[in-house]
Chain A
Amino acid sequence: KAGVTQTPRYLIKTRGQQVTLSCSPISGHRSVSWYQQTPGQGLQFLFEYFSETQRNKGNFPGRFSGRQFSNSRSEMNVSTLELGDSALYLCASSFSGTETDTQYFGPGTRLTVL
């Protein structure tokens, strides 16, 4: 069974630009969550989608948005990039996102903002 895939793996952008990251969950998984990981803040929860609906959102500004498609693939978008957005963006999928559902993480997209 293929794991969670994220594209692209590496991205370099400049301040003010926007970026779209993609995540393909494990086949059959309907819940996709996104996280930001930085050396200073560690891992932080961005949002979670299930069946094309956002179920919860972390404490990030509105510049961070996402969506999920009918095939469970998900994208996240960051507009008006800031230097502080440089981070590893991880997505994780699970079957239903219920309480004890195991999350499977992808390898991440490393975003560098210059």
Chain B
Amino acid sequence: KNQVEQSPQSLIILEGKNCTLQCNYTVSPFSNLRWYKQDTGRGPVSLTIMTFSENTKSNGRYTATLDADTKQSSLHITASQLSDSASYICVVRTGTYKYIFGTGTRLKVLA
């Protein structure tokens, strides 16, 4: 069964600290892996898209890694800011136009 699991479910960190979110997937066939940020009450915003051959991609303070052998991805947030408080969703695109979503990690950044 195609699944995307994220950990932790929730995380609280202090402003300025770094954090890493995890995503494990069992999806076949694999097309690409995406990370989204979703603020409360808004639609998700794309952070990174990685294909099978890419193992690192950055978008400002966000850096995603992909290990296609172990089927694991991580999203590292550097020097967190209050505006980073949001849900972060890992999504795997499989086959043609199908997306499998993780349930997300809810991040809270405290001043």
Contact = CB atoms under 8 A, between A and B. Distances in A.
A86 B23 CA distance: 27
Contacts of A107: 41-43
Looking at chain B's contact residues, the main secondary structure is: strand
B83 to A, nearest CB: 18
Contact of B89 (A43, A97, A99, A102): A43
Contact of A97 (B32, B49, B97, B101): B97
A103 B43 CA distance: 11
B46 A102 contact: yes
B101 A58 contact: no
A102 B49 contact: yes
Interface residues of A, number: 22
B56 interface: no
A103 B32 CA distance: 13
B108 interface: no
A75 interface: no
Nearest to A41: B103
A55 B49 contact: no
Nearest to B54: A100
Interface in B44-84: 44-46, 49, 51
A43 B103 CA distance: 7
Interface of A: 4, 33, 42-45, 48, 55-56, 58, 90, 92, 97, 99-100, 102-108
Interface of B: 31-32, 41-46, 49, 51, 89, 91, 93, 96-104
Given A56-B96, A103-B46, 8 more contacts: A33-B97, A42-B89, A42-B101, A43-B101, A90-B43, A99-B31, A108-B42, A108-B43
27 contacts: A33-B99, A42-B89, A42-B101, A42-B102, A42-B103, A42-B104, A43-B89, A43-B91, A44-B101, A45-B99, A45-B100, A55-B96, A55-B97, A56-B96, A56-B97, A58-B98, A90-B43, A90-B44, A97-B97, A99-B32, A99-B93, A102-B46, A102-B49, A104-B46, A105-B45, A107-B41, A107-B42
